[in-house]
Amino acid sequence: MSEHVPGIVVAGVASGVGKTTVTLGLLAALRRRGLVVQAFKVGPDFIDPGFHRLVSGRPSYSLDGWMCGRDHVLATYIRRSRGADLAVVEGVMGCFDGRSADSDEASTAEIAKWLGLPVILVVDVRAQSRSAAAVVQGFERFDADLDLAGVILNRAGGERHARTVQEAIASTCRATPLGALVRDASLGVPERHLGLVTAVEGPLAASQIGRLADAVERAVDLDAVMGLARARSTPRAHIPGRCSTGAVASARARIGVAHDVAFQFYYEENLDRLREAGAELVFWSPVTDGELPDVDGLYFGGGYPELHASSLTANARMRSEVHRASERGTPIYAECGGLMYLGESLEDHEGVAHAMVGVLPATVRMRPRRLSLGYTDVRFVADTPLGPAGTTARGHEFHYSIMDAPSDEIRRAWAVTSHSGDARPEGYLYRRTLMTYVHLHFGSNPALAAAFVETCVTARRERDAMRLEDPARG
């Protein structure tokens, strides 16, 4: 593996211990030193990479072994960290938590071992002292192949408490204590029902980023962190994968990407692959824009349309234009929040119904106690804007809403198989509009992006031909 950039993996003993706070603080402090830092996120998360980008100044990429495979993870790390001084990979959940109880599949530990990177474990020590050393020892012994190199304590009660815990770890564990952040609620990022408030919504101002950098500079030995990364990052043999190259092809089609406070959940690689396939991406807002941009296709990602339902409803002209675009055969791909927007109506947490676009004749209802979460296999059973019948891909679902079943007049374009092994029809297809609760990762099948661009090219040619036949249509 040439050009292997040294890096670290920030893992947690569990969810909620402060991995994101520590990661953002490290990114801010290292960047303040003048270093170029490339961030990554293990797993299918959208929100954390948005904060990574805000703090590091570079797009953050997902490293998901289950959706995309080992070769893809290795290739993504190499290509996206090129030109950086250091890579920081934020883990998911607890270090060993993944898809199964008897393996490290889809876990932070799996990615760390694939990449040959040292792990820095974040331990929340609010309610413990010397016992924290036992926790670290347990993580060290659980998997001898994992390079657990350092420990950062979070939410220490004060300097004396932090010193006691670090001394206990130093005297009984192999991992190096690297510092301790004292409990400070102002350093955290606000949360809501699907996780953190998103970067687009502005919870991290420059002053907050500065406080994170200050806290890490005071509490963490950054020289030791960089020393571990440089000394213990072990290049792995690179097996050519199907990672995007980042090369932008000559524009063959213009695709409008909905991007605002309501829609912002996109894998950076999905956007890259569309560009590589010849798409010029035009970002626009269903909330605030007065009209659709001049595009050949539309891509709606996930987000929080339920929180902005009144504004989406109030923009009646935009809803009407999106509906007309669907009716005239404009290719549209809508995931999760996008599906909710294209439905007939959206019932918010208070039970208030808001009119939406109406392409999908169904009502979506917010049900906070009905969480759908998990990886999915997708097999196309019909020709769609993303590919023909027989196409396969992988993705994940993460939503609290439920949808009334649309009528049989709306075709089901694919079969979705979840972790339980049960397959169900999904992927709602109307003309060239494809709507789904699944967030597909285009890295799981690179043909998806190329197929969508080609569908947009075909639609534009048909539209141009109709205009030539009947200029009044233009």
What's the pLDDT score for residue 408?
84
Q: Which of 195-199, 433-437, 455-459 has the lowest mean pLDDT?
A: 195-199
Q: Which of 48-52, 163-167, 206-210, 378-382 has the lowest mean pLDDT?
A: 206-210
What's the pLDDT score for residue 371?
64
Residue 82 within a domain: yes
- The percent of residues in the chain predicted with pLDDT above 70, rounded, is 93
What's the pLDDT score for residue 1?
40
The question of whether 336 is a catalytic residue gets the answer yes
Residues 303 and 361 in one domain: yes
Q: 372: pLDDT confidence band, cut at 50, 70 and 90? A: low
Q: 192: pLDDT confidence band, cut at 50, 70 and 90? A: very low
**C-beta contacts of 183-189 below 8 A and 24+ residues apart:** 183/126, 183/155, 183/156, 183/157, 184/215, 186/211, 187/21, 187/25, 187/211, 187/212, 187/215, 188/18, 188/21, 189/20, 189/21, 189/24, 189/51
Asked whether the predicted pLDDT for residue 239 surpasses 70, the reply is no
Task: Pinpoint the alpha helices (H) of 33-115.
Answer: 47-56, 65-68, 70-81, 108-115
Residue 409 within a domain: yes
Residues 329 and 458 in one domain: yes
Q: What is the pLDDT of residues 299-311, one digit of tens each?
A: 999 999 999 999 9
Residues 226 and 89 in one domain: yes
Residues 296 and 346 in one domain: yes
Residues 413 and 451 in one domain: yes
Mean pLDDT score, 89-102: 95
Q: Which domain holds residue 366?
A: 253-469
What's the pLDDT score for residue 190?
63
Residue 293 within a domain: yes
Q: How many domains does the chain have?
A: 2
DSSP 245: -
Residues 221 and 260 in one domain: no
Mean pLDDT score, 82-94: 97
Distance (Å, rounded) from C-alpha 288 to C-alpha 255?
18
What's the pLDDT score for residue 244?
76
Q: Which of 30-39, 78-87, 419-428 has the lowest mean pLDDT?
A: 419-428
Q: What is the pLDDT of residues 268-280, one digit of tens each?
A: 999 999 999 999 9
Residues 429 and 392 in one domain: yes
Q: Cα–Cα distances in Å, from 203 out to 39, 108, 241, 379, 470?
A: 19, 26, 36, 38, 51
Q: What is the pLDDT of residues 353-368, one digit of tens each?
A: 999 999 999 999 987 6
What's the pLDDT score for residue 2?
46
Residue 245 within a domain: no
What's the pLDDT score for residue 419?
75
Residues 258 and 222 in one domain: no
What's the pLDDT score for residue 400?
83
Domain boundary, last residue among 232, 263, 286 = 232
Residue 248 within a domain: no
Instruction: Residue 106: give its domain's CATH number.
Output: 3.40.50.300
Both structure tokens of 139: 């993580």
Element (H, E) at 227: helix 222-232
* Residue 8: strand pairing partners: 88
Residues 196 and 127 in one domain: yes
Nearest residue to 292 (alpha-carbon basis) of 282, 302, 307: 282
Residues 183 and 216 in one domain: yes
Residue 218 phi, psi (nearest 5): -70, -40
- The percent of residues in the chain predicted with pLDDT above 90, rounded, is 81
Could you say which of 95, 173, 336, 456 is catalytic? 336
Higher pLDDT, 65 or 194: 65
Residues 290 and 221 in one domain: no
Instruction: Residue 305: give its domain's CATH number.
Output: 3.40.50.880
What's the pLDDT score for residue 466?
82
244 near 443, Cβ under 8 Å?
Answer: yes
Asked whether the predicted pLDDT for residue 198 surpasses 90, the reply is no
Q: What is the average pLDDT value for the chain, to the nearest integer?
A: 92
Residue 246 within a domain: no
What's the pLDDT score for residue 200?
67
Give SS3 for 75.
helix
* Sign of torsion over alpha carbons 261, 263, 265, 269: negative
Give SS3 for 364.
strand
Q: Which of 38-42, 162-166, 235-239, 389-393 has the lowest mean pLDDT?
A: 235-239
What's the pLDDT score for residue 245?
72
Q: What is the pLDDT of residues 54-79, one digit of tens each?
A: 999 999 999 999 999 999 999 999 99
Asked whether the predicted pLDDT for residue 113 surpasses 60, the reply is yes
Asked whether the predicted pLDDT for residue 331 surpasses 90, the reply is yes
What's the pLDDT score for residue 238?
58
Nearest residue to 210 (alpha-carbon basis) of 191, 187, 183: 187
399 near 193, Cβ under 8 Å?
Answer: no
Name the packing angle between helices 206-219 and 47-56 (round to 10°). Answer: 80
Higher pLDDT, 365 or 193: 365
Q: 474: pLDDT confidence band, cut at 50, 70 and 90? A: low
Residue 296 within a domain: yes
Residues 259 and 224 in one domain: no
What's the pLDDT score for residue 4?
79
Residue 107 within a domain: yes
Mean pLDDT score, 210-230: 97
Mean pLDDT score, 438-457: 98
Asked whether the predicted pLDDT for residue 240 surpasses 70, the reply is no
In 111-252 the beta strands, taken as DSSP E runs, fall at 119-124, 148-156, 176-182, 191-192, 195-196
